[in-house]
Amino acid sequence: MAPPLSTSHARPKIGLITCIFLTVAITIGNGIYTSLGLQLLTISHGFTILALWGLGGLCALCGALSYAELAARLPHSGGEYYYLSKIYHPALGTMAGVITLFAGFVAPISLACMAFGKYLHACFPSCSPLGASIMLITLVTIAHLFNLSFSAAFQDIITIFKFGLIALFLYLGFRYASISPRVLLPSSATWHELLQPNSGVALLFCFYAYSGWNSTAYIADDVATSQRTVGWSLVIGTLLVALIYLLLNVVFLLSAPIGDLRGVIDVGTVVATNLVGTAGGKIMALLIAVGLVAGVSGMTWIGPRITQVMGQNLPALFWFSHTSSNNIPWRATLLQYGFIIVVLLTSSFKMLLIATQIPIQLCLLLGVLGIIVLRRREKRNAVAPKLTNHGTDPLACAAGKFPCPFYPVPSLLFATISISALIYTITTNFQDALWGFFLIALGLVLHPVFKTKFRS
């Protein structure tokens, strides 16, 4: 079955470094600078926090290892929309496409813009957080309406700045932190806390912060030698992010009392103020705000590719499949921009975060388990394999470019952690979770409306 995109082979492609930068820039967004304050509403010990972030990183790495093989087997743009359509059924693909558009990009971009506005307001109190949020998404959207080369260069530059900001934060934290490292050590109370349902909810905030580890799967058609490059970018990027997250959380917990951080959205400002004073805190808040631009930019770049790919297979969305002469899906980009503006004007931070992570985690779970489905299907077909003219199974060849290490352990571990966190979240935040179920149902209900034969 051919890919859903029909594009020229001569168009520009991006390489491994840009793919890693994109993965890191999108993943390290506002989640690391906002989640801790919300987690501390129900968690009281530093060790529990670090354990949850480590568990979230392990889960993300297991997902990345599984997706690396998935990207080798199905090397085309579209992410979960394309994967679930090919592995299971187009109805699940349509559901994943709708969920990814809203919960995977519109909501995270909106959350990052909200955080940008809050940090900028902390530095300049006269600045409207909402106005700053709208200004950011407007300028970034315009920046990605030119061409792929400009988008890649812009993304690389602001991601390098983000790395510099993180390095500065870590340097200041480890140099000037005043709280005893004993707050990070385990005790009987921390182990008990780690097994409570509230830890499952706190883990969902980690999932939100790690969301983005699968970024380059959405733009595989724009990646050179995508069957290997996409996988390597996911794995390397996720490992970098996990290391950075653990170090940043150590700095946060050693730089400010837990009571000062509890319930705070702009955690970075509180930590920076404790480290270098009020004036220094305002400067760091400004730097953090600028650093968030990289994540907003990366998501704004790749998000419209979902709608574009869906438009090439679903007649109701065909208008959004159009691209400019520079291969920019400008209609899909403007659609995403419109949705983000609506969300910025209407939604609250915590409700939006919890409601969107449930459907996103479900789609990722189905994608990761897709490796097991494909391998079992491959074994069944081995009895009477469908060979090409060269006598080779194309799926087996593709998988050989990046087989999942220690299969099926990463896939099953990802599934176990994800399902446990989802159950905890649903049982403790049922009202917010209902919005997540609504989005899942909406995706399934829309399939008959959009329904068409998946191209072959």
CATH of the domain at 371: 1.20.1740.10
pLDDT confidence tier of residue 23, bands split at 50, 70 and 90: very high
3-state class (DSSP) for residue 114: helix
Using a 10 angstrom Cβ sphere, with 0-12 exposed, 13-18 middle and 19 or more buried, the burial of residue 345 is exposed
Residue 130 host element (H or E) = helix 129-143
| 51 pLDDT more than 80 | yes
How far is the CA of 293 from the CAs of 19, 116, 151, 247, 445, in angstroms?
17, 8, 13, 21, 35
How many whole angstroms from its chain centre is CA 155?
A: 16
Q: Is residue 102 part of a domain?
A: yes
Decide if 312 is inside a domain: yes
Among residues 141, 42, 22, the alpha carbon closest in space to that of 354 is found at: 42
pLDDT at 7: 41
CA distance 456 to 444: 22
* Confidence band of 456 (pLDDT split at 50, 70, 90): very low
* pLDDT at site 340: 94
- For residue 350, the model assigns a pLDDT of 62
Q: Domain of 51? A: 16-446
| Angle between helix 148-176 and 16-27 (nearest 10) | 60
What average pLDDT does this structure show over 258-279?
A: 86
In the predicted model, what is the mean pLDDT of the chain?
85
Supply the Cα-derived Rg of the chain in whole angstroms. Answer: 21
3-class SS of residue 223: strand
How many Å apart are CA 128 and CA 135, to the nearest integer? Answer: 10
C-alpha–C-alpha distance, residues 392 and 387, integer Å: 5
Domain count, the chain: 1
**pLDDT average, residue stretch 155-184:** 89
Tell me how many degrees the CA angle 237-209-170 measures, rounded to the nearest 5.
70
The average pLDDT across 405-425 equals 88
**pLDDT for 147:** 83
d(CA 170, CA 244): 9
What is the model's pLDDT at position 6? 40
Beta pairing partners, 223: 14
Q: Which of 145, 149, 114 is nearest to 129 (CA)?
A: 114
* pLDDT exceeds cutoff 60 at 276: yes
Residue 455 domain flag: no
191-200, 293-302, 364-373, range with the lowest pLDDT? 191-200
For residue 222, being part of any structural domain is answered with yes
Indicate the pLDDT class of residue 398, thresholds 50, 70 and 90.
Answer: low
Residue labelled with tokens 């509403």: 41
Looking at residue 454, what is its pLDDT?
A: 46
- Using CA atoms, how far residue 106 sits from 112, 116, 304, in Å, is 10, 15, 10
Neighbours of 409 (CB within 10 A): 12
Q: What is the pLDDT of residue 9?
A: 45
Lowest mean pLDDT segment, chosen from 76-80, 379-383, 411-415: 379-383
Asked whether residue 456 is domain-assigned, the answer is no
The two tokens of residue 279 are 């004036």
Per residue in 82-104, pLDDT (tens digit) is 999 999 999 999 999 999 888 88
Q: Of 188-202, 258-272, 309-323, 411-425, which gets the smallest average pLDDT?
A: 188-202
CB of 105 closer than 8 Å to CB of 303: yes
Higher pLDDT, 402 or 140: 140
Residue 454 lies in a domain: no
| Omega within 30 of 0 (cis) for the link into 403 | no
Q: Is the dihedral of CA 165, 171, 173, 176 positive or negative?
A: negative
Over the stretch 220-260, which tens digit does the pLDDT of each residue have?
988 988 889 999 999 999 999 999 999 999 999 999 998 89
**Bigger pLDDT: 353 vs 33:** 33
Q: 180: helix, coil or strand?
A: coil
For residue 348, give both structure tokens.
């609250």
Within a domain: 7: no
Say if 171 falls within a structural domain: yes
Give the C-alpha separation, 159 to 29, whole Å. 11
Q: What is the mean pLDDT of residues 119-123?
A: 82
pTM confidence score: 0.82
* Distance of alpha carbon 84 from alpha carbon 88, whole angstroms: 5
Token readout for 70 is 């998935």
Banded model confidence at residue 111, pLDDT cuts 50, 70, 90: confident
